[in-house]
Amino acid sequence: MNTTGNESENNNAVEGAGDGPGEQHRTPLRKRIRWDWLFLALSATALIVLSMIFEGKGRIAGRVVWEYAKEMVFILPSVMVLMGLFAVWVNRETVVKYLGEGSGIKGFVLAALLGTLPTGPMYVAFPLAAVLLKKGARVANITIFLSAWACIKLPLELVEFQFMGWKFALLRLGLTVALVLPMGIMVEVLYNRGGRAQLQADASGLEAGD
């Protein structure tokens, strides 16, 4: 039940189809939308201005932007479709059973395995994590999922192995795997502690909303 704290924050995030009329009277969301446009405007301006001043470096930056934009165009839409299908087809009970409060060690392992699947960059993991959290996965498992997604990847390990040697790569991987679980639990404990009053407020708001 401890995940309800995020639900009201993510109402618009996950239940995208139904939030049309809700958007109008939610000023916090509007504020956030302006922030990301501002962030985009600032970074794009900086990129363009710097590229005009330092032409050689600008060409490198341009190539990098092009490569990542291509990756985004090829991966992001299909991951969003996957997220949408997940939101529609997988019911809450299933997520709670496999990744929720009572899922125990199996839940940790499943979360880690989901994270290590060969997938795209970090930013595609956030909406997936949000949908899991909304459907009742526990915070520790979401943390493990995101950590695995970020740093336990086979291609990454192979490059590390090649350049840093097996001792360095294996030790770092082993320590990461060993420490991600206690980290997930710590994040969960602190997440739940401070937010209890907030959680209850959100939960009642949800009942009224649903």
Partner 1 sequence: MSMTAIVINAFVAVCLLVSLVKSREKTRYALIVAWNALKRMAPSVLAIIAVIGLIIGFVPPRWIASVIGGESGILGVLAAAALGSVLFIPAIVAFPLAKSLVDMGAGTMAIAAFITTLTMIGFVFLPLEIKELGARFALLRNGFSFLVAIIIALLMGLILA
Binding positions for partner 1, 93-132, rule CB under 8 A: 118-120, 122-123, 126-127, 129-130
Would you give the binding string for partner 1 spanning residues 34-73, x where CB under 8 A is met? -xxx-xx-xxx-xx--xx--x--xx-xxx-xx--xx-xx-
List CB contacts of 139: < 8 A, sequence separation 6 or more: 2, 3, 133, 184, 187, 188, 191, 192
Task: Give me the half-sphere count of Cα atoms (radius 13 Å) on the Cβ side of residue 145.
Answer: 24
Q: Which two tokens stand for residue 37?
A: 């446009």
**Out of 2, 4, 83, 114, which residue is the one contacting partner 1 (CB under 8 A)?**
83
Q: How far is the CB of 69 from partner 1 (least distance, A)?
A: 6
Report the alpha-carbon angle 180-184-186, nearest 5.
115
Q: How far is the CB of 118 from partner 1 (least distance, A)?
A: 6
Q: Using CA of residue 83, residue 89, residue 94, residue 96, what is the dihedral sign?
A: positive
Q: What is the CB neighbour count within 10 angstroms for residue 26? A: 13
Q: Which of residues 163-202 bind partner 1 (CB under 8 A)?
A: 163-164, 167-168, 171-172, 175-176, 179-180, 183, 186-187, 190-191, 194-195
Q: How far is the CB of 28 from partner 1 (least distance, A)?
A: 11
Number of chain residues interacting with partner 1 (CB under 8 A) = 91
